[in-house]
Amino acid sequence: MSEHTRRQFLEVAAATAAATAAAGLLASPASAARPVVAPARATPGVPGRSPRSPRSPESPESPESPESPESPLPVGPGAPFGSYQSEIYLAGMTAGITPIFTTNLSDLEAAAAEVLSEAARRHLLAWAGGAAAVRANARALSAWRIVPRMFVDRAERDLGTTVLGVTMPAPVILGPVGGQTEAHPAGEIASARAAAGLGLTYVHSSRASTSLEEVAVAALTGQRWFGLDWPDRGGPDPVLLTRARVSGCTHLVISPPQPGQGWEALAAIRRAWDGPIVLGGIQDVRDARRAVHRGLDGIVVSNERGRRGPAAAGTITALPRIADAVGGKLAVLFGSGVRTGTDTYRALALGAEAVVIGRPYVHGLALGGEAGVRHMLRTLLAELEITLAIAGVGHHRDLSPSALVRD
Amino acid sequence: MTPPVAAGTIPGDLSQLEAQAADSLSPEALAYIRAGAGDADTTRANAGAFRHWRIKRHRGRKPAEVDLSTTILGTRMPAPVLFAPVGVQTLAHPDGDLASARAAAELGLTYLHSTQGAYPMEEVAAANGDGSRWYQLYWPTDDELAVSFLRRARAAGYTHLVITLDTTLLGWRPIDLDLGYSPFLENKGIANYTSDPVFRRKHMPVPAELAALPAGIAFSGVFQNPGLGWQQLPLVREHWDGPVLLKGIQSPRDAELAVEHAIDGIVVSNHGGRQVDGAIASLDALGPIVQAVGGTMPVLFDSGIRTGRDAFKALALGADAVLVGRPYLYGLALDGQRGTRTVMRRLVDELEEEVRKAGLRSHRALSRSALTRVR
């Protein structure tokens, strides 16, 4: 074989192997459940790029899979979340495939604004408590700065945790957001499937545009909770709660009572629901203690629907005190303003057992349907895992406020 | 500082370098050089931290002569400014690290060769000639390869070892990821590996000259090393008889641990914000670390130095010397070796002028009292 032929042969072999790796990009990294294949958008011939080896995936069926144990790169199913980074670089360098949308989750809202309807944007903003609350939450989160530690053995990278009896591959829950078909025709089905594919828990909203049963069928293997508004005087709808239970929802997340609503409905909810109950919208220690007193199983520290108006200090400000006061007595989750892996890191360090995200995944949904939600989630999890490793944190449970300083 | 300053294309205001150099770089190269982790919040914080300090006006007599020379761990330096270890410099200019190593030698400044260099350490050493050079190590997962790197570095005349601790994994860098661009997978910035006998024998499926991608993948396999820990230090001591510095320290506790482990010096650095997003500014980490170390070892500073004034501030806050990275790379992009030399010389000249204006004969007399804290 001439030198020229040999060179060509090796280049094609390399490109083929890498194209298989790129195909592995489409598989779930963490769950035994294989998600539906996501269509990655190819951007051939990006101008200004230097020529590289052949990049078209000529033979994606190559038996030489780089996912084999011999591969030095951990990509594909079973690999750590951080391997999404290698997958993206390999796909880019071998097949010219770039991520479906940005990997900077701080830019996601602006990107989604270009595809969302005005009504959908208003809906999402209201869900997060309004523009002022969103700004305050972002400011308050970014004031907490990570102090990385060095030379700490982080060979074992595990984001896994157990929240209220549910084993999770990462401390991230997709919160209850209603009306998701406004963001994308596939709506809640896409979000639930993306969550299930990664093994993450999805909270189905009682205000969803898709029925409990449709979502259950579409994401059968997924861990699902049910998000319910605080009931009116008539008490909770027992049929709805039964449907939630029968369709596989194990936990109930209820929004806090609105002004004028009393706590009487809680007893009726308890009678109609035998699983764990999590109360959202907790913003101060007094409310958190009340939740313990009333026998709730968990709380979400959040400014859900701007219940108390935009707290200028940002919801994260209350978290450390709440975690100090009631942590260990019930599950403390955090659910306001988390957009990135770094934000997740901050909330975990300040006492949350897990974070509940809302708008970021709906922005992902708007930008790319199920593949968009998955890309958003994998980006957040990769960023979280890599940040923990570089900052020298053994496990996220080891995080404490001392991992941060306040600017 | 003998060579004349070439005005060339280097802007007089060094803080404008990045904007000026942007046009000379491909989108991928600019992205790789600029990249910060996540939303680049740490990179911004690094720059912002310098603005929180102002240099006090000194109304007294100014010395005619300023002496910036210093000695760090036995290395004589005409100024307390070092070339930070920067990988893949061929992204900025085809001559890459060879040009930078020559520029450093011309200026008499110490050059730190990156394990991610675009040229093998022996070629860079040859370009650096009689210059002063230290070697920066990314500790690979294969100890035999690490030992091979150390042996080669020693043989090529690198006197000090700087172990970077903050890059056991590559940070999450969206501007690179969004382009799907990694230089290593096209055989750029892995020359120290592909020229290494141990790497070639144990890790490389086919020669990198024949197929870049497998070499890049093999490199990634030995590069990611999150299992690195203090327990590996004896191996270094066994195979490196010169001074050892740790780079990437941001916590005073880690600085104390470095003292306890008899490390020779540390570099306070957050890798220019390329590794962890939302982290403290490196300059904010400096003061408490200097205090924790208490003069028992030299403390060098890295991450955010763009001008001589910045260097002045870091020295006033207790650094014994500073490392400069991106600025010289932008100089390299604009005008090759001459551009790099011009940038570094201008930065040193600016520093000298600031020290003179502060009424001091030497930067070593600097203290925090030369600065005012503003918010």
Same domain, A153 and A273: yes
Mean pLDDT of chain A: 84
What count of CB pairs under 8 Å joins A to B? 197
Q: Are B312 and B362 in contact (CB under 8 A)?
A: no
pLDDT band at A308 (very low <50, low <70, confident <90, very high): low
How much is the pLDDT for B9? 83
* Minimum distance, in Å, between the CA of residue A37 and any CA atom of chain B: 20
Same domain, A14 and A73: yes
Q: Best of A151, A379, A388, A399 to disrupt the B interface by mutation (most B CBs within 10 Å)? A: A151
Residue A111 lies in a domain: no
Please calculate the CA angle B334-B338-B344 and round it to the nearest 5 degrees: 90
DSSP string, B151-208: HHHHHTT---EEEE-S-SS----HHHHHHT--GGGGT-S-HHHHT-HHHHHHT-SS-T
For the segment A207-234, the average pLDDT, to the nearest whole number, is 95
List the single residue in A with minimal CA-CA distance to B183: A93
Q: Is B239 a catalytic residue?
A: no
Which residue intervals of B246-307 are DSSP H helices?
Answer: 252-260, 282-293
How much is the pLDDT for A306? 53
Same domain, A61 and A142: no
Phi-psi domain of B271 (left: phi exceeds 0; alpha: psi -120 through 50; beta: other): left
How much is the pLDDT for A312? 66
Q: What is the pLDDT of residues A70-97, one digit of tens each?
A: 455 555 555 689 999 999 999 999 999 9
Q: Evaluate if residue A54 carries a pLDDT over 50.
A: no
Q: Domain tally for chain A?
A: 2
Q: Best of A70, A93, A150, A159 to disrupt the B interface by mutation (most B CBs within 10 Å)? A: A150
The dihedral built from the CA positions of residue A149, A155, A160 and A162, taken in this order, carries a sign that is negative
Residue with tokens 């409990």: A212
Residue A261 lies in a domain: yes
For the segment A259-270, the average pLDDT, to the nearest whole number, is 89
Q: Best of A71, A100, A147 to disrupt the B interface by mutation (most B CBs within 10 Å)? A: A147
How much is the pLDDT for A303? 87
CB contact under 8 A, B254 and A15: no
Q: Evaluate if residue A63 carries a pLDDT over 60.
A: no
* Minimum distance, in Å, between the CA of residue A55 and any CA atom of chain B: 11
CB contact under 8 A, B250 and A46: no
Q: What is the pLDDT of residues A152-203, one digit of tens each?
A: 998 888 999 999 999 999 999 999 999 999 999 999 999 999 999 999 999 9
Residue with tokens 């209350």: A318
Same domain, A71 and A157: no
Contacts of A144 in chain B (CB under 8 A): 278
Contacts of B162 in chain A (CB under 8 A): none
Same domain, A47 and A170: no
Contacts of A147 in chain B (CB under 8 A): 250-251, 279-280, 285
Q: Are A36 and A371 in contact (CB under 8 A)?
A: no
Residue A116 lies in a domain: no
Instruction: Among 3.30.365.10, 3.40.50.300, 1.10.3720.10, 3.20.20.70, name the CATH number for the domain at B14-176+225-373.
Output: 3.20.20.70
B171/A contact by beta carbon, under 8 A:
yes
Helix (H) or strand (E) holding A375: helix A359-390
DSSP state letter for A74: -
pTM of the model: 0.90
User: If we measure between CA atoms, which residue out of A165, A183, A170, A178 comes closest to residue A215?
Assistant: A178
Contacts of B88 in chain A (CB under 8 A): none
- Could you say which residues from 37 to 66 on chain B have a Cβ atom under 8 Å away from some Cβ of chain A? 37-39, 41, 45
Please state the ipTM of this predicted complex.
Answer: 0.96
Residue A213 lies in a domain: yes
Count CA atoms closer than 13 A to B315's CA, side-chain side: 29
Domain range for A39: 3-95
CB contact under 8 A, A389 and B270: no
Contacts of A99 in chain B (CB under 8 A): 177-178, 180
Question: For position A148, which CATH number holds?
Answer: 3.20.20.70
Residue A28 lies in a domain: yes
- Tokens of residue A32, six digits: 């035994």
For residues A223 and A31, the model is more confident at A223
Q: Are A157 and A333 in contact (CB under 8 A)?
A: no
Among A43, A77, A95, which residue terminates a domain? Answer: A95
CB contact under 8 A, B250 and A148: yes
Give dist(CA A218, CA A187) in Å, integer: 12
Residue A118 lies in a domain: no
For the segment A6-25, the average pLDDT, to the nearest whole number, is 44
Residue A128 lies in a domain: no
Contacts of B257 in chain A (CB under 8 A): 151
Q: What is the pLDDT of residues A23-33, one digit of tens each?
A: 433 333 333 33
Q: Which of B113, B160, B203, B271 is catalytic?
A: B271
pLDDT band at A255 (very low <50, low <70, confident <90, very high): very high
The greatest distance separating any two alpha carbons of chain A, rounded to the nearest whole angstrom, comes to: 85
Among A95, A128, A150, which residue terminates a domain? Answer: A95
Same domain, A317 and A376: yes
Among A43, A69, A95, which residue terminates a domain? Answer: A95
List the single residue in B with minimal CA-CA distance to A157: B226
C-alpha distances in Å from residue A18, one per residue of A26, A284, B1, B216, B295: 13, 51, 49, 11, 51
List the single residue in B with minimal CA-CA distance to A381: B172
List per-block mean pLDDT (blocks of 10 residues) for chain B, which spans 375 residues.
54 92 94 96 98 96 96 98 98 98 98 98 98 98 98 98 97 98 95 97 86 90 93 95 98 98 98 98 98 97 98 98 98 97 98 98 97 93
Give dist(CA A321, CA A205) in Å, integer: 29
